[in-house]
Amino acid sequence: MYREVLLAHNEQPHHFYALSQPTHAAHGHNPLCGDEITVHLRIESDRIKEISFTGQGCAICKASASLMTLRLEGLSVTDAEKNAQGILKWLNDATAEQPDNLGELEALLGVRKFPMRIKCATLAWHAFLKALNQPAISDTNKESSASCGCCGNGSTPNGKHLNDGCGCGS
């Protein structure tokens, strides 16, 4: 399961920081293991101009998030969404066909054999889809969202969480 690619991405994840001017952000949390990933997006003219993630998780979770940012950056919103859905289907369903041009993502193949760990691999992708479906961050609360790196729905303009149980840790 721990292919070289995954170990490398875990050690030095790509796009592992908060965006300063995100247009969209969403938090993914696996309450059963404490893994949490926030995906930050800057969408311009229907394109994923910038994507990054913050949070903490196991090697599988972080490597998958890192691979995701590489795959999705620069795609149109529609393509990125389709892409993410395809990867999620592939990870969740052992009978699903392998998506085209998997590239390094193919390293996640081994995870599919461990149902306990599939959630680790899918967390960031779910957070990405959630971010897309969230209303864009308006200028007034942009700052608080960026500073706490939290879920869109948990943030208020003063940076406090509406929902204490959101567990984003900031």
Q: How far is the CB of 52 from other proteins (least distance, A)?
A: 20
From candidates 26, 72, 120, 150, binder to other proteins by CB under 8 A: 120
Which among 59, 73, 56 has a CA at the least distance from the CA of 15? Answer: 73
User: By C-alpha distance, which of 42, 17, 39 is closest to 137?
Assistant: 42
Binding of other proteins by 5 (CB under 8 A): no
Contact present, 39 and 145 (Cβ < 8 Å)? no
Q: Does 24 bind other proteins (CB under 8 A)?
A: no
Binding of residue 117 to other proteins (CB under 8 A): yes
Fill in the amino acid letter for 42. Answer: R
CB of 85 to other proteins, least distance (A): 25
68 is a site residue for other proteins (CB under 8 A): no
Instruction: Name which position in 13, 57, 149, 152 contacts other proteins (CB under 8 A).
Output: 57
The secondary structure of 119-154 as a DSSP string is: HHHHHHHHHHHHHHTSPPPPHHHHHHHHHHT--GGG
Cβ–Cβ contacts within 10 Å for residue 71, how many? 21
CB of 150 to other proteins, least distance (A): 15
Gap between the Cα atoms of 25 and 135, Å rounded: 9
Q: Is 94 in the site for other proteins (CB under 8 A)?
A: no
| Interface residue list for other proteins (CB under 8 A) | 1-2, 4, 7, 10-11, 31-35, 56-61, 114, 117, 120, 169
